[in-house]
Structure 1
């Protein structure tokens, strides 16, 4: 089993786990967790280099965000840092990493991402899992254009091809997409690398999250499930609980709508 930890900081419970999987020799994923910022970076580029890219991205994003409080700009800076490092011979030119990051604000949250690492909203009472991010991938472009169906995508030979990542030398500025939401009670946000979602269906993730076990045990079960299906890639997951306890009042819901 991989590295695991659960912590409570500023009313946000969270748990995280990272596992090398069953095929890869090295874990090229990097996780960063703090009291306000959580991220998963999935490195690419072969032995040692993907790990260099993901670690550099995580370090840069956390540092830049602490200075400016601007998550998309921090991710953009990380892209430039990974490109620069490759050009200077740190790792290698062409190494890259995806990233999905979450920040918790006083009343809400923001998610920013590049690539195909994902964020999901888990509504505990409704037992509903909703993908909040859209992969930057060739498959998503083909689906959105109507050229293939979601069922076709599962077997498409280029289903793993992403259209951008941090460190891509062909892209001056990456497109950092964002999602903003308002925390409510009985919510969790799950961040993960594609080592989970490539092998585990969303319905299977729901089945695990519905269990009455602890967050640590749920993440361990998700990793075990991915590995039972081949574990072809590194598997990294963070689960962050809403700091809001209980349901919002009617007044609070109305205020959030018209704010």
Structure 2
């Protein structure tokens, strides 16, 4: 019987966003440098907005006092060498005070044990979690449309849905469960009173199957519906079993366009009021 050496190499690490942050020893989403892929700097919100919670946001557009705006096609990406160097610097800090300050500056708490594996590259071996795109972005849009997003109204825009319209939509969501085949996914409960039952699968079903029908003609301006449909098309593309290089490029450009339009519509009025105090 002939023997041979079998070598296995870990090249990708999967998990939800909090788990990946722990594995990479990142500070996480609510920090000054929250992104594991790039060095974008977050802006601190005003305590009175967001119900008194101190939260950081990472918009592309920001007032001049907050520094330069970010080009989504050319973000300041992290590299493996930079990441390891910064993580090592934090781990070997002279004292706890210096370590805390450097961790805050880099968004890294220390050198992860997985960095000892030469087959892994930080951060490219740690792809983003698709589940949280569904569980974060879609509920955020719903909150915006219903005027319940951290005290932010529609400002100079007009994307809020009338209460009677939203009431009809949530009733239709509940009723749809009676005629939707189980092979399509789980039941969609009342999106208003039973939103705590929603999970990634529920939000996916709402966004890709129910939303495009129930939201059509509901907004006062069609641009908001078109913006939502663009997001749905991108979700559907991401769920394909096979993607060509051209399709991957179109997904990237599609998300860039979607975020730019989102920031244009929302205008981030709440950011303007906090720059003087928090930057």
Common fold, TM-score beyond 0.5? Answer: no
Larger Cα-atom Rg: 2
Q: Report the TM-score when normalising by structure 2.
A: 0.24
> Could you say which structure has the higher helix fraction?
2
- Greater relative CO (CA pairs within 8 A, separation 6+): 1
